[in-house]
Each structure stands twice: as structure tokens, then as C-alpha cells.
Amino acid sequence: MTKTILRALAGETLPTPPIWMMRQAGRYLPEYRATRAQAGDFLSLCYTPDLAAEVTLQPIRRFGFDAAILFADILLVPQALGADLWFVTGEGPRLSTITDASAVQALKPADAVHDRLSPIYETLRILSRELPSETTLIGFAGASWTVATYMIAGRGTKDQAPAHAFMQADRAAFSALIDRITEATIEYLSAQIEAGAEVVKLFDSWAGSLKGDDFDDFCMAPIARIVTALKQRHPGIPVIAFPREAGERYKGFAKATGADCVALDNSVAPDWAAANVQSDGCVQGNLAPGHMVTGGQALIDETRAIVQAFRGGPHIFNLGHGITPDADPENVALMIETVRKS
């Protein structure tokens, strides 16, 4: 039997939605913290295939999710393109910055991802061998806009102001940066698919700060270009797109980009999304991650409501964003139990 997530992505309405969770391998799990300590630091964990595969497998062993998502980071692509990348404990990633057209031109070509990111492909090969036969293997990358915001600011920012300022000051140079990231992302995801990824997901975590033509040009257009290229190279490969906080722009997003599934954040109501987004195909989401911290009857009630809202079409149950480090694994187990009994 075809794996449940692949069936949902192909447009099938299932009696019980398959389930996985963004950031399901992470700091909320004691076994992850132990493996990360063994690796020494975050980037070493990403680049050590045996350990990256181990943390990818941990939530599958513990919870029996229907999919495993590759353990890596969206900023490995900028690093492959020549950016300096490091992580500050307790604060997150830092990058050398792109501040003008000459810095864009100095980036390495898109195919630099093949050699530089070869450990990531080895992680996928290990997972292809070791995952249970019923578990789907998901690869991923950051979408072009979101990756660009980090490359310009050198870090995550609340409102992506440095990227917006660069865009306003030199739209041609900004577009060139988006193009380079897009080309590299096509190469990176194509190599992930060749290494065993059965589905790929594009995370546009900061899509919500783009409005009007900017949303069209720098969120939708690059994602459409990536989806088209991947499907030309790998016919039948399903792609999930996550334009977080797109709001009304979720409507029509699948048709505009060719994505097989649109992942939803928890700021949109499931009933609205069922009527306006699921009408075009599979949706993924969208339980608020805070329920993984607080648990209780509210978690059960909201989980049931989401399952019910999306019952009429193809649906993959997930959170509306990544699980947080303060989450309780017992609440994850309760969520899964509730989905599978709803």
C-alpha cells in the first residue's frame, strides 16, 4: 500500500489524516539533547550523517509519525554559496552579510551545493535504508525570500527590515540574489531527491512580510520556479509549500506555484482554509504549537476541531509552526492519539 502521506499528497481523502510535526527532531526530546552533546555543536550535528540520521529517527521511534523530515538547516545553502555561518548559543544563527550588488556577484555558483552539502545527501541515504517501510522521507529547503532575509541581515529579524531596505534600494541586485538562491535550491533539492527524499518541502517562514507585487515576485514566483524545475527532473515528486502568515494569499497559492500541498500556519481558521485552500488540493496543518506546551483538554478539543474541519478533503495533520523546546513529549503523544481516534 502506498504510504499515507503520499496518498494525501496525491489528492486522496483519508479516513484518518497522516501526521508529522515541524521540528519533530529537536530540543524538546532528551534523546536529541544527548546526541547534540555528542556532536559538540549544531553545525557538526548537521554535517555528521550518522548523528543527523539518528536525530531524524528518534521521533519516529518514540511516536511513530507517518513521516520523517531530514535533520538539517535552511542556512546550509547560503554557507554552500560562500557565506560564513556560525551559531551563537542561546541566540541562533549568524551569517556574513550581503549588502550590495558586488556581494551578490561574489557568491559561488548554484552547483556549489553538490560538493559542499554532500554529507546531507549521505544522511538521506542512511534514512532511506533505516526508516520503517511505512514512513515517508521528507527533504526540505528554505524558500528563496526567507533565505535572502538571513543572508542580508546576517541573522533572523522581527520584520525583515534589512531585506526590505535592500529590495527598495536596488531591486535588480535583490532579484539577482533571489535568482542565485533559487538556482541553488533547485540543485540542492534535486540532489536530496536523488539521495532518497520522497517529498520535499519549501519553508518560506517570513512570507507574511511580503505584500502585493513583492509577494508575487519574491515568494510565489521563486517557489513556482523551483516546483517546475523539480517536477521536470523528477516527474511525480510531491512538493509541500509553506508560505507562513500568507493570510488571504494562501488562497490560490497551490495553483499559482504548482505545489501539491499548502502548509498552513495557525493564524488562519481551519474552516476558512477548508473552503478556500483545501478546495485546490491537499493542506497541511495547523495546530498552534503552544498546545504542545500546555496540553490538556484544549489540545484535545482543538486537534479534533482541525481534523473535523479538513475531513472533506486531503489533509496532513501538523502544527502551524515548529514545536518549541519547552514542549512536553507527553503532549505530542496525546496529540497523535487524538488525531488517530478522531
Can 225 be counted among the known catalytic residues? Answer: no
What is the rounded radius of gyration, in angstroms, for the C-alpha atoms of the chain? 19
Residue 242 CA, distance from chain mean position: 7
- Beta-carbon contacts of residue 241 (< 8 Å; ≥ 6 apart): 143, 201, 202, 204, 223, 227, 253, 254, 257, 259, 261, 262, 263
Contact 141, 188 (CB under 8 A): yes
**Which of the following is catalytic: 32, 47, 73, 250?**
73
**Which of the following is catalytic: 28, 47, 121, 150?**
150
**Which of the following is catalytic: 7, 33, 36, 340?**
36
Can 33 be counted among the known catalytic residues? Answer: no
Can 27 be counted among the known catalytic residues? Answer: yes
Q: Which residues pair with 92 in a beta bridge?
A: 88
Can 188 be counted among the known catalytic residues? Answer: no
3-state secondary structure of 15: coil
**Which of the following is catalytic: 7, 27, 94, 233?**
27
Select from 275, 270, 307, 263 the least CA-distant residue to 15.
307
Can 23 be counted among the known catalytic residues? Answer: yes
Residue type present at position 29: L
Q: Which three cell numbers stand for residue 50?
A: 550518522
- 232-269: string of b/e by CB count within 10 Å (b at 16+)? eebeebbbbbbbbbbeebbbebbebbbbbbbbbbbebe
Active site residues: 23, 27, 36, 73, 150
